[in-house]
Chain A
Amino acid sequence: MSSNRLVWTRTSIWLGFLALSALGLGLLPAYGFSLAFWFYLLLWITLASGLNIMAGFTGYLPFGYVAFYGIGAYAAAVTVKMHGLPIWAGFIAAALAGVVLSLMFARTMVLRGIYFSIVSLALAVICRLLIAAMPEDVAGGSYGISLGFSNPDGAYYAMLALMLATLLTVTWLAQSRLGMALRAIRDDPDTAETVGINIGTVRLKAWVLSAVIASMTGAIEAWYTSIVDTETAFNLLVSTKAVIFAVAGGLGTVIGPVVGTVVMLIVDDLIWQHFPVLNVFLLGLVIVLLMMFLPSGIVGSLIRRKPFLRRILF
């Protein structure tokens, strides 16, 4: 009983916090704040949390996560620019593209550990090269696609909505049967199968969910910048950053990717402002120190060292 109350308390604290932040973030454009920093903060929180569904809950670390992001950006851009449809149709196309691509890649999940990660990376590279090699009237070729219009405010609100949806999904997942099954598979696949968990189906759900979040993010970013090209849409740094932010906060926790993204973006910003010459070196150093001293991430390590924090962090 008390464990139920614990879950109830921390979930309501978290949801309350989310609601307040959402309100604050929603008012930003009205007060004329520059949106660039905030848009990308929301974007990275979303990507890190989306990756966390796969990497944190199931233990598969897809280095090629950017493939879904890129395909979403392209699906939206092609729908809007080449076929003259409105942007919401572009979002639907992006979501569908994410589902289709993740189903195509589903078979790679028979691989484990670093095998899976590298193959996923290879698939992302192939996607980029194939799209760049397509004729220009199909996917813009190597020059990319310019949407011809942009709506930063609209994109900002879309990003905010997607981030909230993602965080609510992860919050639900952490408590649901599905989430429990995923963790069971991560910790011991054989035992999980013995107690009747259908590993294939359960894993596939997480995979598709994770992919759709990334492809929608890609579509919204395309709307925000109004330009899509293969070099940025399939930039491997997107995967690496999402992984680093998620791990910095704590893989497998709900709040972790949010905290990790906020902390790392602020650190990154401070380093760029104060040490322009040494910035990359210091960023590397921060990552190394973080992994040396907080290997389970900020939130993960806090929970481990101070168990009473479980009442508010999860």
Chain B
Amino acid sequence: MMTTLLIQALVTGLILGALYGLIGCSLTIIYGTMRIVNFSHGEFVVAGCFAVLMFFTATGLHPLLSIPLVFVAFFLVGMCLYYLFVPRLNRGDDPEVASFLTFYGVSLMAGAILLYFFQADTRSLNYVFTPSVYKIGHVFIPTAHIVALATGVAIIAALTWFLYRTIYGKALRAAIMNRDAIQIVGVNINTLSALAFGLAIAIAASTGVLLALVFPAFGPFSGMDYTLVGFVVIVLGGLGHPIGAIIGGIVFGIAEQVAIVFLPQSLSQAVGFIILIAAITLRPSGLFGKVALR
């Protein structure tokens, strides 16, 4: 019985962890390339949840089909946000603190807009997969989780390919490593940062689509929780390391779910954070970070 629960927890943890990892990964793309602390990141995840809800109620098509649409729409939103705020913030003398507060303001505004249009009650996506549950051995896995995991892995694979095999991805990673040097070799940092911002917001919203499948209910107030998870995950994985963030997310997700099996509810929430502290104490630059310490 215990082993079944444990395997169940590992599987759920892996799925949630992959999604947490995507949130962290997109957050680290923003922080890494432009030292901007996007405190409103979680609101865009939640916006993704509501976007798929609107898509599904309007068209009745399969929720996953909304991802390309959501991706493009939020890519544009992200670009707009970038040009609206970031160049100005980067001219200040402490972009990190200034951006944290600016985007805290954006987060309040985005949360208020969501609340205005969708009201305070939690919503759910009334889409049922057939069959709704797969039984592997003694372990039950909802189809929605499998679909979410598969899509999440596909997004991660595409992102990895983009970051490591395309010239834009390489430029992005180079900008994370050294923002000044990349300008010397002729990259327009402004355009690159705008694209990075758009990409990150698009990934956050797409992750929201998947979360809407996995979590039966969502409301306009959970944005801050996702932002916090995202930050914990990137610190765990090492700042400025997109793939490290995904590993960090999986570690965090599995730790959280396994802890629920062994510990009382209230303490199990602490486990992810305790792992963060332990990891930071042992390796101050995160699991995969190399240069993050200043």
Contacts and interface: CB of A to CB of B under 8 A. Distances in A.
B113 interface: yes
Contacts of B89: 291-292, 295
Contacts of A290: 101, 105
Interface in A263-314: 277-278, 280-281, 283-288, 290-292, 295-296
A4 to B, nearest CB: 28
B5 interface: no
Given A118-B232, A278-B112, A129 B101 contact: no
Contacts of A247: 97-98, 101
Contact of A291 (B102, B115, B292): B102
B31 A119 contact: no
Interface in B44-74: none
A133 B115 CA distance: 32
8 contacts: A114-B37, A115-B235, A115-B239, A284-B104, A284-B107, A292-B88, A295-B89, A295-B92
Interface residues of A, number: 44
Contact of A132 (B105, B112, B232, B266): B266
A107 B281 contact: yes
Interface string B254-280: 000000000010110110011011001
Interface in B202-254: 224, 228, 231-232, 235, 239
Contacts of B102: 287-288, 291-292
B33 to A, nearest CB: 14
B7 interface: no
B294 interface: yes
Interface of B: 31, 37, 85, 88-89, 92-94, 96-98, 100-102, 104-113, 115-116, 224, 228, 231-232, 235, 239, 264, 266-267, 269-270, 273-274, 276-277, 280-281, 284, 292-294
**In this complex, which of B232, B270, B281 has the most chain A Cβ atoms within 10 angstroms of its Cβ?**
B270
B276 A112 contact: no
A280 B101 contact: no
Interface string A93-128: 000000000000001101111110111011101100
B112 A281 contact: yes
B251 to A, nearest CB: 14
B274 A126 contact: yes
Given A125-B270, A281-B109, 11 more contacts: A113-B294, A117-B100, A123-B277, A125-B273, A133-B270, A251-B97, A280-B108, A284-B111, A287-B105, A287-B108, A295-B98
